[in-house]
Structure 1
Amino acid sequence: MTAGQPATDLRGPLPAPPAAPHPAARLDEVDLQLLSALRADGRVRASALARRLQLSEATVGSRLRRLADSGVLTGVHAEVDPGALGRPLQAIARVTHGPVPLDFHRLAARLPAVQSGLSLAGDADLELHLACADQHELHAVVAELRLAGAARVQVELVLRRLLPEAPALPIAAVTAVTAVTAASAPQLARSAVA
């Protein structure tokens, strides 16, 4: 270890810039209903979706495949309560890089408290979502981040996680569907049956 180098090397190159955004997918009302149903309950079966939307299972399956292939539907995930796993203390750590940026993937692999993170543009460079066993582990994570070269670590404790009762779809998607004119409505109805 050389002078000035942190004891734990969690530094790395800057992350690659995100790929160019893909153009907004053309979603119709049926697509939005499918996405809304999956956001409300990711375990719902295609047969239940078909009954709910009055479509065939084959239509639901092909639409879900199209939504996945086009990158609109990127996955379905389970929500896990960190407290049930012995990590009741949740916090948000906003990290400002030092001279060398920290590598999120190394952080997550080395620090089990790191649950997820966001790369930011603004005052902080990273936002880490932490779930710690206790205040001692939280303190140790902050110390580890500073040893790794973080210029600044700001921690805020999570009091309660707030989620909408029925997760909403982005406004842009809803706006795109409501922009359908009366003239194209019959075509939309035919595509919903296909």
Structure 2
Amino acid sequence: MPTGVAIRDVRSQLFDAAERVLLRDGAAALTSRAVTTEAGCAKGVLHRHFADFDAFLAELVLDRVGRVAERADALRAVAGSGSVVGHLTRALTDLFTPVAVAMVGLITFRDGLRARLRAAGQRGIPVLTQATAMIVEYLGAERESGRIAADADVDTLALSLIGTGHLLFAGDDGTPRAQAVRRIVASVVSGALTEPE
């Protein structure tokens, strides 16, 4: 892009470009040059908006973590209705997009990024940490509605679902069949359901 041409919504354009590079070429190929080339802008554009590349990546992760919060609100809203297994299956399928799975890999790959995220108050592995909290909240709401047993350990159930879900979606081509996701969800929560589904 020629110098002096205004770019609309620079952050969004750069974030989208970073996701494309990450998905296509992997975490090792994600550089400021790769991102700005993908976005079709000069390298200086990224550095005018972010202190350095790890600051850019931290903002990208935090932006995407915010999307998990939106999903959490929607999941909590359906507690007490429909199928618990169905809701959890959809939540995991919606959560573990190829970008989210790649983002987890990126976080574990870059020490500087993890340091920035910790400095921003993030604990554990962002995306997975927020996803676990989302499932804990949902299962807690279902426990309050009486559809999950009062003595169910929702923290352990959530960790089991997120850990297993991540492994399932990170394997092979990253697109497990809906039946496989549903089977795992049913297996994990079946002992906690007050009525079989």
Which TM-score band applies after superposition, normalised by the shorter structure? under 0.3
Decide which structure has greater helix share: 2
Query: Scaled by the length of structure 1, what TM-score is found?
Result: 0.22
Decide which structure has greater strand share: 1
Structure whose alpha-carbon radius of gyration is higher: 1
